[in-house]
Chain A
Amino acid sequence: MPDGAQINTVTFTLNDEEVTVPEGFSIWEAANGQGLKIPHLCHKPAKGYKPDGNCRACMVEVEGERTLVASCIRPVSDGMVVKTESERARKSREMVVELLAADQPEVKHDAASHFWEMADLNGVTTSRFPKKAPDVVPLLDDSHVAMRVNLDACINCNLCVRACRDVQVNDVIGMSGRGATSKVTFDQDDPMGGSSCVACGECVQACPTGALMPATVLDENQAGDSKDFDREVKSVCPYCGVGCQIKFKVKDDKIKYVEGIDGPANEGRLCVKGRFGFDYIHHPHRITKPLIRREDAPPKGLNVDPGNWHTHFREATWDEALDFAAGGMAKLRSEKPTYVAGFGSAKCSNEEAYLFQKLIRQGFGHNNVDHCTRLCHASSVAALLENVGSGAVSATFNEIENADVAIAIGCNPLENHPVAATYFKQFTKRGGKLIVMDPRGHGLKRFASHMLQFKPGGDVSMLNAIMHTIVEEELYDRQYIQAFTEGWDNMKDHLEGFSPEKMAPICGIEAEVLRDVARTFAGANAAMIFWGMGVSQHIHGTDNARCLISLALMTGQVGRPGAGLHPLRGQNNVQGASDAGLIPMFLPDYQTVTDDGVRSAFTDVWGSEDFSGQKGLTVVEIMDAIHADDIRGMYILGENPAMSDPDSDHARAALAKLEHLVVQDIFLTETANYADVILPSSAWYEKSGTVTNTNRQVQMGRPVTPPPGDAKEDWWIEVELAKRLGLNWTYTHPREVFAEMKLNMASLDNITWERLEETAVTYPSLSPEDPGQPIVFMDGFPRADGRAKFTPASVVPPDETPDAEYPFVLITGRQLEHWHTGSMTRRSTVLDAVEPEANCSLHPRSLRDLGVEPGDYIRLSTRRGSVTVLARADRAVAEGNVFLPFAYVEAAANILTNPALDPYGKIPEFKFSAVRVERADSPVAAE
């Protein structure tokens, strides 16, 4: 053991042989370790699944016991004498399977099911027992688009219940009724599709019989075979920052279905997007050939049907398209290098992110390169770099396992980081206290010890009041503060003015609650803080993050197991892309561009001239610069600013104004509507490369299927453009890029491409064998003197407050099924079917006041524009607020949002706009 703890062992007799195993091993585990396969049905030897011992298919005989023993659930004890092959034991195992086989349906929902495999192992093919009365056998439930429920094959093994309750903690599945008529039910015996099921599919992965199957595996007769595939490929999920590892089952070069595998972040779990959201790669909208804007195309606008682009674009060869793309950029460069700016992508690999920033810096000599981190955690990163000296998480989210208190603020992990959320929910089931702070009473509320549903924008007042109490009641960690921080006295003085009583009306949380939270957090043995866009996407986003950092520092809740700061990263590779320097102020590893030595270290490796030492422009600033004619061409790789930038009309007008826009993507996105040339790239599942998740875990992505048509891997396109821009690039494989990155990225020390082909590695990794450090700042911070800093924050009101004309508060965000601008998820059959159209949510009382029925359409208007959208009634949303997801082009939330920026992180205030809400007529679907 790494901590040197002694493992106690027990020795017992297994089929006449002495066997020694660690204490706590079950008989089944011990036997399995000896290569002995005891049949099992309800037992799933996987992380998170407790043995249940209910199926009785694994019975063994233990000397001296009256009855047989379920080997899966009985711990081995010293001197125990176990016989697995006694006549009694065999008979029980066989008959259990025979009893169950009697009621198996004629049609095998899964011809390769674990159940039939185990029946074979027992030599059972038929049953002598009469069947159940047909009227008690449940019928097909095909109400869910992603899964089929055929409970006629169910053996009541309870694995789906454990999957849903213990592992994912979604609590949708129960075992209702009693005895022979007990059955698996969703909510209150509702059809799966009408239940509160979030379609994580854990139950499908756990089911041993085929009673629960991915719909894609079954035919119209409900027959299927889970082993019917050509190959299995392991890769990483393309969606959020959790970085779940997935195994793909591929048949005829198409993904048939997937399973979660034991990655460090997900331990086999997936969410609906990871499990069922893969078929976007097979969507007919994929661009398969380079496209060049036609001479006779209509003026640029959001006017291209992505399924039928021929009116605007023509196909081209790669050579022509690359020459055209690079030529246009080179022409602008020759006029003025800063005429060309670039947006790279947080969705591509580390290598591709690195190449992208290198292409702008080396090819154009400036730093006007950014990506969507600007729109998510730029303010968090600014505060982290400022105060603890590193922009990444201080502890993995899995560390919550060692915590007893946690704060989740401004994040809705149930929808945005669903697999991370499973660990949070498990933490509360173990008795951990979860303090949820959010203007929305979202799904974590049910698990919270404290739910602080504060007023939008009230973060700093609330957090300062909590810290005020910690100071007032001297709950802070004096020793830690003395040893590891600076600026404490100043901070203490500052906090004096923020008593809970004074802050309560500002944040909307009662003073006593604020005090209780302060005591709870400060009284923790180990506590973590998780946050998301609700913290960062404000003009005071950096201040919000500063408060969280200060709170952790004053209580000494950093740098220990179960303690730490964790901004939940939104994109699969936003951590990696930021690490790789896809930021205007930083080169890889957050080394500042203003430092001559830093730049020369890179130009030495690149073999090129120095480039600008000035910090570049950020995402929103680049849009403004286009309007100001300072930027005239852009290279946009895998980003969709026409949807993701605030004040979309303004952003789209900027894109339309560009003289030369190169878009590299897998679909004709809203941004590609404005392109002069579109370079078709491979989807994540179609290429090799590494990604870094929110936990700092670097993982290998592998090609699962070939790209369609002539689509190419992004790194290849980048290299070809670079060559045409006169750069000396010779890369032939991402591993060469990775090797180059290591030269100037200490974070990648001890991490090699070869290692990553074998296993995920967390950075920092202290040796070639070290799997990586889940916790950093154990003995100080990467700042001067090793000390972290307290930076006081004052209350800054939102940029735009509600008034008589715009009386509601608009909060934008995401929904479980749709990911960011929807370009992938809305082209995934399952995800699109579950959430088919733009919607917003208001409190039922707000709707009543407006005279609007749930399901009716409303018009939302801000000072920037208006959209019409279906209204949902949702008690989670506070009265007077509107929640609007931004994934939907037909009611694009960012038409409404305020582009006002946080002065430090340069992040727009997506989370707060003043909005007017009115009834609207129902639109009629054109299709």
Chain B
Amino acid sequence: MSPLDSQSGVWKKKGTGKSRKQPKGRQVDDQALEDVQNLLGDSPRRRDLLIEFLHLIQDRYRCLSAPHISALAHEMRLSQAEVYEVATFYAHFDVIAEDDAPPPMLTIRVCDSLSCELAGAEQLKAALEDGLDPSQVRVLRAPCMGRCDTAPVLEIGHNHIDHATPDKVITAMLSDDTHAHVPDYEGLDAYKSAGGYQKLLELRQGGDWEEVQETVLSSGLRGLGGAGFPSGKKWGFVRANTGTRYLAVNGDEGEPGTFKDRYYLERTPHLFLEGMLIAAWAVDAETAFIYLRDEYPAVREILLREIAALEDAGIVKPGYIDLRRGAGAYICGEESAMIESIEGKRGLPRHRPPFVAQVGIFDRPTLVHNIETLLWVARVVREGPEILSGVEKNGRKGLRSYSVSGRVQNPGVHLLPAGSTILDIIEACGGMLDGHAFKAYQPGGPSSGLLPASINDVPLDFDTLQPLGTFIGSAAVVILSDQDSAKEAALNMLRFFEDESCGQCTPCRAGCEKAVKLMQADEWDQDLLTDLCQVMSDASICGLGQAAPNPIRSMMTHFAGEI
């Protein structure tokens, strides 16, 4: 010590015990950094791959620990906050603080959306919680898994169990059957031998995209994700913008009750892929992104295989199709939220204007299509527009893939004329379950609310339900019977919206939360709820908040006796 250091002019002392041992905040842990670097390998450290990287860590370590998050942030040159907020936004990431224990080896997710709830999901979950060792298995609730025709459903690891029972769970656990089951489907060779991809290759050789667009338009095909925008019109909008353009496929089929996209992808994936490549060709897309919900691990496996097969066959360049994995967020089915998620961010819907056709992925013009829509693009292009426009019923043209669940004999995807009424649909499903009388139905997911059985002569198509204050959406039809409470169903729907609201805007974030509380009252404060419904519809940023009040409104309009 220097002689001067001990003098009384040294008015500040050492040994305070209050000084940090390192720079501010959490520092990167060497081991965690090595873990992350090993997992990422030589992938480019692009921001848009953040969610993919989080999956790698979650898959390997069953959770995202604080050291891993800070290591990933360091590796990607992001802040911890940026990684943390993304990680905590998505339900399928388990974010763990330094002092928290990692989750148990096995996770069971029990679907609690309407069809599964009707089929006893709550009792199933309770039984599992009672019967299983929480240190070995954890049981979580989860929103719709897109298998409503086999309700109740759960996912153990990544194995989905239909018509689930505790016994089936035990069996799966004992046999370590926790991985996705890939069903038989039509592979590339089979599809090609039936003439598949000929049309695509022809078009690439000198086809006229405007001609194709005209064909699609003339078929009457509309967006089957739920918005119903004429499919043929989008291409021109996107194409009108110069520079790099993208295609994004919305495979985030999250509207409870909907499972048609999964149904088709598990059977004829190439029909969709050819449709996608035709659309990508039409807008001259730089990359075709497929955003697939994480609830469909079997479909993911199929697509991974078949995209590789397409690359091997020279039909697409390696990397041209970029399959992205959702992470458990319904809101990412909203197209601009999906784009945010593809960019590696939280799924917050964007303000419009500008529309994604002008400012989409990486702020470039982006064509967004639903899976089923693209499947029909392929069919229309291959088989002609008449396969849709030639079908007419009740004054409506075209076909609709109704995902039907609830109290019917044969739930499932039913491809019916778009003019079908609810009675036609119930009939197609072999009628009501024994002992159940038709009481009410959800025409198109919870966003569409509930209609009473008495409204049974309306074609369930785009535009036809507007006068009733509802819409067909993704055609997720759930049939309720006299044994079901409409009020409970509406509450189930609002709870879903409360869970899935991104939280960005006040009317939806606070509105859903307050609505759930108000709806639990024995007697509803209808004046306040009426005002709240109006404000949520008027002032929410996106369709989630705007449509979330529909179940409340339908209760007040059609089931006033229950509230």
A residues adjacent to B (C-beta < 8 A): 53-57, 59, 67-68, 70, 73-74, 88, 91-92, 95-96, 99-100, 102-103, 128-130, 132, 155-156, 164-165, 171-182, 185-190, 194-198, 301-307, 446, 648-649, 652, 670, 673, 822, 826, 833, 835-839, 841, 853-855, 857, 859, 865-870, 872-876, 888-892, 895, 922-927
Contact = CB atoms under 8 A, between A and B. Distances in A.
A876 B506 contact: no
Contact of A172 (B7, B66, B79, B499): B79
A92 B538 contact: yes
B351 A190 contact: no
23 contacts: A55-B505, A57-B506, A70-B351, A91-B538, A96-B539, A128-B528, A129-B528, A130-B518, A173-B81, A179-B498, A188-B69, A196-B80, A305-B11, A836-B19, A837-B12, A837-B16, A839-B20, A869-B14, A872-B23, A875-B28, A889-B9, A891-B14, A927-B13
Contacts of A649: 2, 4
Contact of B535 (A92, A175, A670): A92
A130 B528 contact: no
B82 interface: yes
A925 B1 contact: no
Given A649-B4, A890-B10, 16 more contacts: A57-B506, A68-B539, A74-B351, A128-B525, A176-B85, A178-B500, A180-B509, A181-B503, A182-B502, A187-B81, A188-B26, A188-B66, A302-B4, A839-B20, A855-B19, A895-B4
Interface in B233-260: none
A92 B533 CA distance: 10
Interface in B507-550: 507, 509-514, 517-518, 525, 528, 531-532, 534-535, 537-541, 546
B559 interface: no
Given A174-B84, A189-B84, A100 B502 contact: no
B18 A95 contact: no
B89 A176 contact: yes
B26 A196 contact: yes
Question: 9 smallest A-B Cβ distances: which pairs?
Answer: A196-B25, A171-B79, A174-B81, A302-B9, A174-B85, A855-B21, A182-B503, A854-B21, A180-B513
Given A91-B535, A301-B9, A670-B9, A874 B22 contact: yes
A98 to B, nearest CB: 9
A925 B16 CA distance: 6
B27 interface: yes
A888 B13 CA distance: 9
B15 interface: yes
Contacts of B69: 188
Interface of B: 1-2, 4-5, 7-28, 66, 69-70, 77-82, 84-85, 88-89, 91, 95, 97, 329, 346, 351, 498-507, 509-514, 517-518, 525, 528, 531-532, 534-535, 537-541, 546
Nearest to A198: B24
Given A180-B498, A180-B509, A870 B14 contact: yes
A103 B510 CA distance: 10
Given A67-B538, A866-B2, A867-B5, A99 B506 contact: yes
Given A56-B539, A854-B21, A304 B8 contact: yes
Contacts of A195: 24-26
Contacts of A129: 510, 514, 517-518, 528
A873 B25 contact: no
Contact of B13 (A59, A302, A925): A925
Contacts of B95: 188
A78 to B, nearest CB: 14
Given A56-B507, A91-B534, A838-B14, A304 B501 contact: no
B351 A56 contact: no
B81 A172 contact: yes
A64 B537 CA distance: 16
Contacts of A306: 9, 11
A728 to B, nearest CB: 39
A307 B501 CA distance: 58
B330 to A, nearest CB: 10
A25 B139 CA distance: 52
Contacts of A890: 5, 10, 12-14
Contacts of A922: 15
A132 to B, nearest CB: 7
A826 B16 CA distance: 14
Contacts of B88: 176-178
B522 to A, nearest CB: 14
Contacts of B27: 873, 875
B151 to A, nearest CB: 25
Contacts of B498: 179-180
A839 B19 contact: yes
Contacts of A57: 506
Contacts of A673: 9
Contact of A171 (B66, B81, B509, B513): B81
Contact of A130 (B18, B79, B514): B514
Instruction: With a 10 A CB-CB cut-off, give which of B16, B18, B80, B81 has the most chain A CB atoms.
Output: B81
Most chain A CB within a 10 A radius of its CB, from B16, B26, B70, B512: B16
B70 A188 contact: yes
A109 to B, nearest CB: 19
Nearest to B515: A129
Given A59-B539, A70-B351, A180-B498, A923 B15 contact: yes
A179 B2 contact: no
Contacts of A826: 12
Nearest to A311: B8
A188 B97 contact: yes
B80 A188 contact: yes
A70 B540 CA distance: 10
Nearest to A56: B539
B169 to A, nearest CB: 28
B364 to A, nearest CB: 15
A926 B19 CA distance: 16
Nearest to B84: A188
Contacts of A822: 12
Contacts of B1: 859, 866-868
B23 A182 contact: no
Interface centre among B15, B28, B66, B505 (most CB of A within 10 A): B15
Contacts of A68: 538-539
A99 B535 CA distance: 11
Nearest to B328: A178
A54 B541 contact: yes
Q: In the complex, which of the residues B12, B18, B77 has the most CB atoms of chain A within 10 Å of its own CB atom?
A: B12
Contacts of A835: 19
B535 A179 contact: no
A177 B9 contact: no
Nearest to A865: B2
A446 B23 CA distance: 15
A429 to B, nearest CB: 12
Nearest to A832: B12
A925 B17 contact: yes
A838 to B, nearest CB: 6
A779 B216 CA distance: 62
A306 B511 CA distance: 60
A136 to B, nearest CB: 9
Nearest to B538: A68
Contacts of B505: 53-56
Contacts of B503: 156, 175, 177-182
A155 B394 CA distance: 49
Contact of B514 (A99, A175, A198, A305): A99
A100 B528 contact: no
A156 B501 CA distance: 13
A892 B91 CA distance: 52
Nearest to A199: B24
B25 A194 contact: yes
A74 B350 CA distance: 12
A73 B505 CA distance: 13
Given A171-B82, A303-B7, A177 B89 contact: yes
Contact of B18 (A54, A67, A836, A926): A836
